[in-house]
Amino acid sequence: MYRTRSFPPNKKGRDFVVGDIHGHFKLLTAALNKLDFNTELDRIFSVGDLIDRGPDSIDILNWLEKPWFHAVRGNHEQMLIDCISGHGDIPRHIRNGGAWLYELQLTVQHELLKALQALPLIIEIKSANDQTIGIVHAEAPIIRSNDGWQEAKDAITGNFGEQHQRQALKTALYAREKIEQQNHTSVKGIDRLYVGHSTVPSIMRLGNVVYIDTGCAFSDGALSLVEIRTETITSIDMSQVRKGTFF
């Protein structure tokens, strides 16, 4: 089942969106400490690719239980789902940082499968200043040229039929067409859309789409977070981790 999820405004605290984590949950913890993140008031939203490549992928089970942590499904979550379900490419997953999964007991693998299948493909947040903020892993799943945000959600949930849904799923998880073409056209029907998947040297915008995967899976990258209301950016470089600045 492919679904979307909506969140009401956070009128008491702050909302953050974080780029691809790729198993670097200690790094995320360090970033939240730096921000004085308040688990009673604040919320954090992930653009997906929570697992693989980094050292702490198994920690995703703990993070998904936190009431203030929310995520969309990324292509790495989809690879795990496909492989554990019996119709994925396990050697490909291992090449892309998934070897940790196959060292786990089958009961834990299926626990991960169940948790990641529950993740929505799209998150929509109403901000405190009445803006509509979207989150999807790779690209807004817009199938027809005149479609906007509502049609993207309808395509994911199957309202336009199975063929459109398959195409929308592929776009939401894997597409890079917009960034490869440097297309500045805004997505209609939404104020701002946060995406990951395509690694960028620093957070960048194309129209109203914000790319926030700054490559913490790589030695020269960083983990970046954006406070949604103020658009303030916080980044922790992997070089700081190697120097022991945070751990």
Instruction: Give the type of residue at 24.
Output: H
Sequence-separated contacts (24+) of 146-152 with Cβ below 8 Å: 147/188, 148/187, 148/188, 148/189, 148/190, 149/187, 149/188, 149/189, 149/190, 149/193, 150/189, 152/122, 152/187
- Name the catalytic one among 22, 70, 76, 93: 76
Strands 122-126 and 132-135: antiparallel
Whole-angstrom Cα distance, residue 175 to residue 59? 27
Annotated catalytic residue 76: yes
Give the residue numbers annotated as catalytic, written as ranges: 76
